[in-house]
Amino acid sequence: MSTWIRNLVVGALALVAAACSPPANPDQPPVDMGNFRLGFNVVVVDNPTVGPFSRKASDEEWKQALTAAVDRRFGGYEGDKLYHIGIKLDAYVLAKPGVPVVFTPRSVLVMTVNIWDDAAQKRLNTKEKAFSIFEGASGKSLIGTGFFMGRKAQMELLANNAAKAIQDWILEHPEWVGLPPHDSAEAPAGPDAAANGN
């Protein structure tokens, strides 16, 4: 096998490994979010960086997709405190069809997020939280969604995964939403724990 083909294969496998979490399903039963009620759902999309081998989407299309996904994920919670979610889309790739195994472009979006407590009039995270959101690892997405999904379906998938990642992040900080702290056995450990503490 020539060096350039080997490098392409290694790169494709690395991207598959990076997208190891399953895609979010907004129809799953809601998890306990304590006193959370969604206030402002603010999505900022201002000429984000478009990665290589990407389909194009307008800023307004991204804003609509992310706003709708956050509404679906959080809109049903009826706690007694308002929380505002602010998202800025920094970059994305909407994969085009490639060559299976040798070169399989994958979709990803990069965003920064803030959570605000309305009553306290303050941001809960000490600094902006950066996320890289991948397609997931369903059987189809292992070969890249560019082969079987249109652009809008890819955007919806990424937006749903983004909303789920935000929810998981909030629940890593149960004190934000009035939930009891995690048991020490369940607390995050290892190098990722510090990164998730923002």
- Counting every residue written for the chain, the total comes to 198
pLDDT, position 47: 94
Q: Is 46 within a domain?
A: yes
**CATH value at residue 123:** 3.40.50
Give the count of domains, the chain: 1
- Which residue matches tokens 């709708």? 68
Q: Is 185 within a domain?
A: no
pLDDT, position 29: 58
Q: Is 190 within a domain?
A: no
Q: Is 92 within a domain?
A: yes
Q: Is 143 within a domain?
A: yes
Q: Is 191 within a domain?
A: no
Q: Are strands 129-134 and 36-50 parallel, antiparallel or unpaired?
A: unpaired
pLDDT, position 43: 98
Q: Is 71 within a domain?
A: yes
Which residues of the chain have a pLDDT value below 70? 1-29, 97-105, 137-148, 184-198
Q: What is the largest CA-CA distance in the chain?
A: 62
pLDDT, position 160: 96
Crossing angle of helices 151-171 and 59-74, rounded to 10°? 50
Q: Find the domain containing 81 and state its range.
A: 3-177
Q: How far apart are CA 43 and CA 62, in angstroms?
A: 9
Closest CA relative to residue 83, chosen from 91, 92, 74: 74
Q: Is 50 within a domain?
A: yes
